[in-house]
Amino acid sequence: MLTINIISIFPDFFTGPLGLSIPKRAAEAGLVRYNCVDLRSFATDKHKTVDDAPFGGGPGMVMKPAPFFDAVESVGATAPIVLLSPRGKVFSHADAVRFAEGTELTLLCGHYKDVDQRVADHLATEEISLGDFVLSGGEPAALAVVDAVVRLLPGAMSDIESARTDSFFDRGLSAPSYTRPAEYRGFKVPDVLLSGNHAEIDRWRREEGERLTRERGG
């Protein structure tokens, strides 16, 4: 079983999404356990403060290191301990596979202006980003990582072959998909997909995937 610890000031953010679809089925099947930890539980003042003004001045607030360290220690987390951060390397399918092959994953969700750098340097084992943009907090990014990882757990999907034909699964982008009707508002499905010739269909899908990967810089 994979245990996923999610440390956040908004643990309720995950209740709805993790109770739906593949994340829910995987948990019910005993493939994954979600442990959402409220970072404010590790604040030491009556107001449950987890942020403070940055040294050196400037706008915004910075999340304090102590609550993160204490929260991680409370669950006995081991690597990988991932800080969701715009400074991190971009999350990839290879990362999802790597995390899915483990037994534990801990995700640290920042908020406000930034997280004290000592969390990145001395607590997290890696930093991961979803891309060159900034979210209001690490929670949406953490949820994306969880979804990408959990669907790869053996038995999580009813049809693992569906996952194997996804984009980035041992290759670049996947070919476009079509379903009934064969013509809609004058827009037709490529003839090859209606031909019944599986060798030609496989060739078309391979070539289309390669074309899209080239065009999009993959």
Q: Which residues are annotated as a binding site for S-adenosyl-L-methionine?
A: 110, 130-135
Binding site, residues? 110, 130-135
User: Structure tokens of 46?
Assistant: 């009556």
Which residues partner with 89 through β-bridges? 128
Report the candidate in 95, 168, 108, 101 with the shortest Cα–Cα distance to residue 141: 108
* Number of other residues whose CB lies within 10 A of the CB of residue 217: 5
Q: Omega into 86 within 30° of 0, i.e. cis?
A: no
CB 109 within 8 A of CB 138: yes
User: Structure tokens of 79?
Assistant: 């690597």
Contacts of 200 by beta carbon, 8 Å cutoff, 6+ apart: 192
Output helix, strand, coil percentages for the chain, rounded to the nearest 5.
40, 20, 40
Phi, psi of 124 (to 5 degrees): -70, 145
* Number of other residues whose CB lies within 10 A of the CB of residue 10: 16
